[in-house]
Structure 1
């Protein structure tokens, strides 16, 4: 029975790359083989548990071959001294050794290893030391000193075994902070290759990990890391993941090895590829709304020249920006100077300008962006066409209900020119302007300060911004 148990366990642990396993039959109740060899088990010829613990050889986990010295602090108490402080992660270093700084790849020699009790002749892990170099090299925290003939991997893409430690399940869309030696950078998890069952070591395909689950993951970092595989060097092959909002340590990782670009996983599924062919975004509207905390809609201001619609529209854009919303403002003057510069002010070209604007609004709304538009849009027919293009559920019409006399007082030069027939096709003068019958809100231009608050309340009540 004992031999069968040993055989089964050996078959299990061989998958874990554990080089040495000792089997001792014990009886906790009787104390058999705990301190002395038990007479009740004459078939056992090994050591007792206590004897084994007292005589077992414990090999060091430290790597004394590959010199790695992550810089934690640049020590410069005065202008005559410049040292680099940190803990020796692996390998050994002596005065006179040639070292290379990464990522700059500048080379120098170790001048001394000063301490309070005098200079060291050699330093090794896990000693905390200060290195003084013969040359002035610009090195800062997070960089690393290595042997130039024995470099670590310098990569942004790698695979690692990950232990998830957070109560909240993993979200692949999160940009985590990855802390590796003394270096911290942004990192994303490209995919989970599989989850490992800790009881059976069986591998299963999953999309995410939950508390205490272990899996193999593919990572991409914002900047290159200087690492070794964990099996070769535990200090430079391990890292922790930190959530950017909670600052909780959500996972620990053990790097397997670098990943070539050609082997990087693609998150694009067959369904995604079909959407790409059709020109459809791979980001859903719900994902955009959650990210931006707003709905992509168009706030359309209509009214005569001089009615105050521009003042209210620009004030709304500024207020939304200050509140953290993502909004874009479009008005006739800015578009006519570029996109619509070939259009004149005839009724046909005015309609064409609004058609183009409507399509711009639709594209921006599809990205979850609030679009603020300020255009005369002189009748219901034009406004309805705009609403049809954008989508009636996204189109919110705001009417600046100003009298013609108020508008003339606001822009006297423009209206004088129209009355003298120096210009033509001016709504309210020689082109009819129809007040909208279906506006979501109507405003008195003389109350623009309170009008802004009314619009903000409207957006909040409609859960446009903020959504929550």
Structure 2
């Protein structure tokens, strides 16, 4: 500052920061903690209130000011308008003065933001007409990741009147045919603890013993059934829910399912057990130390998480809760695969 060096700074002080590395930064850029990263994107959804007598024109170029940064962009889509008297949603081609609607925004360049409900300062913006330089609208950025990626453990089916058809083959007949009790074994642990490696080795052993067995793992699910999900806490939970639904169907068909997932929180693991049924659900915890998991990290995920490139990474920027009462605990930082 003008008065010299400071040990700490806080709003609304005006200070000068000297960075250790040469980084190209400019007005509107942010300095944030590695474990508390905002989002960076040029597309997002927002609730918008229109403040000009000239109606909104979707597709028209406007200026969007968020914090101190001004970026050209457009309202790329208008999902619906809200009737302020009934609060009902209704389709609309535009927004007139004082009307409110949900819209999609596409900017010419990415911005750094948070959803409005998380951070009002970085989640709000105004819209400026490029010709008149007047403010024509104001918006709040929505947590689209939260909405679309939320887990659906307790949701009812969207369609009504659905019933599952009864199989002509009984559970006892399947058990007699396969010579086994169906079960789902959740193999949980941090990245690098050996979940998929052990699941595949166990699959081989059980298959060689004549068992009907299959493996479900997080990455395989994300290549297909869960390709629309990211890695937020709710999306990890939803990925596990979808996988457990598949496991339950496989159990009904008489198979043993080995489910290899990080599954970092106890509440979600309990929901998985409830969905499959406690009688045929087992939890195996791979209790490898974080240091060993980092050493095994061939993909460099921990390094990326340390640098803030991977958000919500269990063990670094998000917690991993060890199971309180696992059916089996394997110290995979001490035991080779063959002994597990």
Give the TM-score of the pair, scaled to structure 1.
Answer: 0.37
- What is the CA–CA distance in structure 2 between the aligned matches of 1:437 and 1:278, rounded to whole Å? 34
Q: Quick check: 1:418 aligned with 2:301? A: no
Runs of 4+ in 1 over 4 A off after TM superposition: none
Q: CA deviation at 1:295?
A: 0.9
| Equivalent residue, structure 2, for 1:31 | none
Relative to 1, partners in 2 of residues 1:353 and 1:449: Cα closer, same or farther, differing over 3 Å?
closer
Alpha-carbon distance, 1:280 to partner: 1.4
Please list the CA deviations of residues 13-60 of structure 1 after superposition, one character each: whole Å capped at 9, or x if unmatched. xxxxxxxxxxxxxxxxxxxxxxxxxxxxxxxxxxxxxxxxxxxxxxxx
- Compute the displacement of 1:300 (Å): 0.9
Structure with higher RCO (Cα < 8 A, 6+ apart): 2
2:281 aligns with one of 374, 382, 395: 395
Partner of 1:359: 245
TM-score when normalising by structure 2:
0.51
From 225, 237, 246, the equivalent of 1:339 is: 225
Q: Where does residue 381 of structure 1 map in the other structure?
A: 267
Conserved? CA contact 1:327–1:371, under 8 Å: yes
CA distance in 2, matches of 1:383, 1:278: 25
User: Is 2:240 the partner of 1:328?
Assistant: no
**Cα distance, 1:278 vs structure 2:** 4.8
Structure 2 CA distance, aligned partners of 1:329 and 1:319? 12
Q: What is the correspondence of 1:29-48 to structure 2 with a 5 Å cutoff?
A: none
Match of 2:189 among 299, 303, 315: 303
Q: How far is the alpha carbon of 1:422 from its aligned partner?
A: 1.2
Corresponding residue of 1:447: 335
Inter-partner Cα distance in structure 2 for 1:417 and 1:449 = 27
- 1:290 and 2:173 equivalent? no
Q: In structure 1, how many angstroms separate the alpha carbons of the residues matched to 2:336 and 2:249?
A: 29
What secondary structure does 1:438 align onto? coil
**Which structure has the larger Rg over C-alpha atoms?**
1
- Write the distance in 1 (CA, Å) between the matches of 2:272 and 2:336: 25
Number of positions where the alignment pairs a residue of Structure 1 with one of Structure 2 = 177
Q: How does 1:146-185 map to 2 (within 5 A)?
A: none
For residues 209 and 192 of structure 2, what CA distance do their matches in structure 1 show? 28
State the match for 2:121 in structure 1: none
Give the unaligned 5+ runs of structure 1. 1-276, 453-468
The alignment's C-alpha RMSD in Å is 1.5
CA displacement 1:159-215 (0-9 Å, x = unmatched): xxxxxxxxxxxxxxxxxxxxxxxxxxxxxxxxxxxxxxxxxxxxxxxxxxxxxxxxx
C-alpha distance in 2, partners of 1:287/1:348? 38
The CA distance in 2 between the partners of 1:405 and 1:292, in whole Å, is 41
Contact 1:443 1:451 in 2 (8 A): no
Write the mapping of 1:61-460 to structure 2, written as runs, cut at 5 A: 278-411=164-297, 413-445=300-332, 446-452=334-340
Could you tell me how far 1:449 is from its partner in structure 2?
3.5
Distance in 1 of aligned mates of 2:164 and 2:281:
25
Distance 2:310 2:275 in 1: 31
Cα distance in 1, alignment partners of residues 309 and 226 from structure 2: 22
Residues 1:288 and 1:312: Cα distance change in structure 2 (over 3 Å):
same
Shift of 1:359: 0.7
Q: Closer, same or farther in 2 for the Cα pair 1:304/1:286, shift >3 Å?
A: same
Aligned-pair distance for 1:364? 0.4
Distance (Å, rounded) in 1 between the aligned partners of 2:164 and 2:204: 36
Unaligned runs of 5+ in 2: 1-162
User: What is the CA–CA distance in structure 1 between the aligned matches of 2:265 and 2:286, rounded to whole Å?
Assistant: 14
